[in-house]
């Protein structure tokens, strides 16, 4: 049997549909990436614990400049971790529980592979 031996750039068939990346992998990666910074974890935790929080209070609790915190808030908002609503001159942020739930779901589904064929 000849070794087609993958030419430098030539790949093999590529089994199933890992070609585009499984949607669930992409989704979990997206949420994980957004959470992948200590400041953002702190923000999410803060919001989950308080139900709501004015932006300024978040800034006060982080050792970061206002612009930087705002940037982190944007990342979390874009990923669906939090949402903000205008409240007079301020912005009131709160966590989106369904995102936390989905994140946990996906993470558990990932870890559940570990049990495959071992315990029922």
Partner DNA sequence: CCACTAAATCGTATATTTACGATTAACGAT
Partner DNA sequence: ATCGTTAATCGTAAATATACGATTTAGTGG
The footprint of a second copy on this chain (CB under 8 A) covers a number of residues equal to 53
Instruction: Choose one: 3-11, 42-50, 94-102, 103-111; the region binding DNA (CB under 7 A).
Output: 3-11
Residue 42 touches a second copy, criterion: CB under 8 A: yes
- Residue 99: closest CA among 79, 72, 120: 79
Per 3-state DSSP, the chain is made up of helix, strand and coil in percentages (nearest 5) of: 55, 10, 35
Q: Is 40 exposed, middle or buried (0-12, 13-18, 19+ CB in 10 A)?
A: buried
- 78 or 104: CB nearest a second copy: 104
Among 12, 14, 18, 67, interactor with DNA by CB under 7 A: 67
What are phi and psi for residue 85, nearest 5 degrees?
A: -130, 140
The residue ranges that bind DNA (CB under 7 A) are 3, 5, 8-9, 33, 36-37, 39, 54-56, 59, 64-68, 70-75, 84, 86, 88-91
């Amino acid at each position: 049997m000849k070794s087609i031996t993958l030419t430098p750039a030539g790949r093999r068939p590529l089994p199933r549909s890992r070609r585009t990346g499984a949607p669930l992998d992409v989704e979990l990666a997206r949420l994980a990436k957004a959470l992948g910074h200590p400041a953002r974890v702190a923000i999410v935790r803060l919001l989950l614990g308080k139900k709501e929080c004015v932006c300024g209070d978040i800034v006060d609790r982080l050792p970061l400049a206002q612009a930087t915190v705002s940037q982190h808030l944007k990342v979390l908002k874009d990923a669906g971790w939090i949402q903000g609503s205008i409240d007079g001159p301020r912005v009131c942020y709160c966590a989106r529980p369904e995102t936390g739930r989905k994140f946990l779901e996906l993470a558990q589904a990932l870890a559940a592979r570990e049990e495959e064929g071992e315990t029922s």
